[in-house]
Structure 1
Amino acid sequence: MTLSTYPEKSISYLYEVGVHGGIRRAADALGINPSVVSRQLSLLERNLQLPLLERRGRNVVLTEAGKLLAEDFAKTNQRRKQLERQLQDLRHMRGGSITVRIGQGMVDDVVNHVLKAFSAAYPGVFVNMLSGDMQSTVMLIAKGEVDMAVGFGPTGPPGLKCLSINRGPICAIVQREHPIARLSQVSVTELAQHRLIAMNESFGLQRYINAIFKSESVIFTPSYSCNLFSSAIALSKAGLGIAFMTAQAVQTPLLQGELIAIPIDHRIARESQCHLLRSADHRLTPAAQYFWQLLCNFFNEAADS
């Protein structure tokens, strides 16, 4: 049996195990039963007559043979993705395409201050805008499926070209009649006395909030959890709880007087950052490079203002 005859799906499972460091975690990411992954990899090892996995402590890592297969799969997959995008460009008669992933709280800024200028300079380029958590964003950039991203979180991820920019302070977002609305800043102890609105655990913002409460030895006990900033804003407008965001993320409700942003009195809240991300070794097209430069310029200027 030649290498080309081995099931590509099995090799893709091997690649995911290498990325996630375990069969169960890889299966969870793929949305399948761990036994399916385990069975396919065992069959692949038997056919190749080579071990592909070895256990180190609580993690599973790839052997040298496993790494060779996984690396080849990743390169092949990246080439195919690039080909698919080129074919998509031809189908739409476009001048190229850019895929950018943007954290929900920064979509308005990117659209109004970056995308407008970019579209004027490159009207024929197709822009695919996505949203999602930092962990999956990093994986998609590494796979070549996303050109660049704007994320929010306590630390910039390793292995990527990353420009980290101050985005703070993180604020408590409340309606004007809320008991804390009169405060110039609010402590963690005070926040814990009220109904709180959490974001999904995958949000960089929520990781900040968790770190803030943990540092003060205060248990964060929300009354609501959301996976959309718009949901958290609606709850706050209704007076049902305190949301947490930067003031930039809720500019329109603040200007309209519907909500008030009170900075959280904590070092972590004052030092919040957004991260502009791209692959360190993936060469951008001229259009994508221009988009990247617009992103860098805008967020640098916003941080200085």
Structure 2
Amino acid sequence: MSAAPQRPEEAAESSGATLDVRRLKVLREVFIRGSMTAAADALGYTPSAISQQITALERETDAVLVERGPQSIALTEAGQILVEHTEWILEQLDLADAQVKAIAGLRGGRLRMATFRSIGETVVAEALTRFHAAWPEVELRLVEGEPEEYVGRLAQGELDLALSFEYDGVVAPHGSDLVAEALLDEEMLVALPAGHPLIERGAVALPELADEDWIASSHRSSVHEFTRIVCSWAGFEPRIAFETDDYHIAQSLVAAGVGIAFLPAVSVHTAHPDVRVVQIRPRPPMRRVFVVTRDTGVASPCVTEMIRLLRNAAAAETPRTTPPAAG
């Protein structure tokens, strides 16, 4: 069993030589192809040129790297170890090349994205701030709305990236030509007006809310049926008193005492001062947030970097989704 490859700087220190990467590639090709002639065909060289490259590499390493037979060629132990080094070196060079190209791609260009409000004012805002600080030369454009309004624009190439969601019982509006990557799973909480008798409990079972008036999403929203579906699973038909697609408006209505509403956990830290939230037990309904891109096979550096920052922001946001103590 051969020794594990050293890092290139360690190899250079031990040999005292600077190895030519092109010659290392030649040695690797000879190993893969099994002959100098086959390596010459693969690299577009003559067999004589391949032989000269190997000889020069042997001088650089002061070691015999290949054993030449009448009709075959084999690597010595030193040659095999050097090929193992070469594999690692070429992987690192490919990685460096990709990273340099990615950085170059972030020194200009444009990133067009769309988001819905509750994630836009939290996770997306944090990611945008960090992206702009790191890559100020990239032109950022942001559209705010509902996924059903802008996901089609993403599919048509008008946007580069979008945030979307799905709720328990309501499927996300993603087409087959789009790729949706999970970003955040969060509980749906129940918003109650300050002073509501169930606040002190901290958590409630949905059937306990069967006699309440509810505030739900409007018919314009893809999640309009969410409140009805989840309540029906709990065994009752909710009495819908108001409809709004804005969680801030919903909270104001809750604070006024005209109804209660489901609230995504990510919105807790911007809760209305006269609203309290409680968890649902034993199983809370969930909202899942996605990053959606076109299925092009090749992601732009701008999109890749933004997704990375969105993931970091979502990971930092997750501990904040636990509702505060009642009171």
* Alignment TM-score > 0.5, same fold: yes
Is 2:293 the partner of 1:259? no
CA distance in 2, matches of 1:296, 1:204: 25
State the Cα deviation string for residues 141-175 of structure 1 (Å, max 9, x = none): 21112211222213453522212244321011123
Output the CA distance in 1 between the equivalents of 2:318 and 2:225: 21
Deviations 1:158-202 (A, max 9, x none): 522212244321011123212332222222222221121112245
1:241 shift after superposition: 1.6
Letter of the structure 2 residue corresponding to residue 98 of structure 1: L
For the 8 Å contact 1:247–1:261, the answer to whether it is kept is no
The residue identity in structure 1 corresponding to 2:139 is: F
Classify 1:224/1:135 alpha carbon distance in 2 versus 1 (closer, same or farther; 3 Å).
Answer: same
Distance 1:268 1:146, change over 3 A: farther
Partner of 1:181: 199
Whether 2:302 is the aligned partner of 1:291: answer: no
Which of 112, 115, 125 aligns to 2:128? It is: 115
Name the count of aligned residue pairs: 209
Which secondary structure state, in structure 1, belongs to the residue aligned with residue 239 of structure 2?
coil
**Aligned AA (2:270):** T
Is contact 2:213-2:238 (8 Å) kept? Answer: no
Letter in 2 for 1:262: V
Q: What secondary structure does 2:296 align onto?
A: coil
**Counterpart pick for 1:194 among 197, 212, 215:** 212
Q: CA deviation at 1:265?
A: 2.5
Unaligned 5+ segments in structure 1 are 1-93
The match for 2:141 is: 128
CA distance in 2, matches of 1:151, 1:266: 27
Kept in 1, the 8 Å contact 2:204–2:281? The answer is: yes
Larger Rg over CA atoms: 2
Map Cα deviations across residues 2-34 of structure 1 (whole Å, 9 max, x no partner). xxxxxxxxxxxxxxxxxxxxxxxxxxxxxxxxx
Q: What is the aligned partner in structure 1 of residue 290 from structure 2? A: 275
Which residue number corresponds to residue 190 of structure 2?
172
Percentage identity across aligned positions?
22
Give the CA deviation at 1:106. 0.9
Unpaired runs of at least 5, structure 2: 1-106, 321-327
Cα distance in 1 between the residues matched to 2:122 and 2:188: 17
Distance 1:188 1:204 in 2: 22
Match of 2:265 among 244, 247, 256: 247
Q: TM-score, normalised by structure 2?
A: 0.56
Q: Is the 8 A contact 1:96 1:126 kept in 2?
A: yes
Q: Look up the SS of the partner of 2:201 in the other structure.
A: coil
Map residues 223-242 of structure 1 onto 2, 5 A cutoff.
Answer: 223-242=241-260
SS in 2 for 1:291: helix
Q: Which residue of structure 2 aligns with residue 24 of structure 1?
A: none
1:118-157 matched pairs, under 5 angstroms: 118-154=131-167, 155-156=171-172, 157=174
CA contact (8 A) 1:186 1:262 kept: yes
One-letter identity of the residue aligned with 2:312: N
Contact 2:210/2:238 (CA < 8 Å) preserved in 1? yes
- TM norm structure 1: 0.60
Report the CA distance between 1:102 and its aligned residue.
1.2
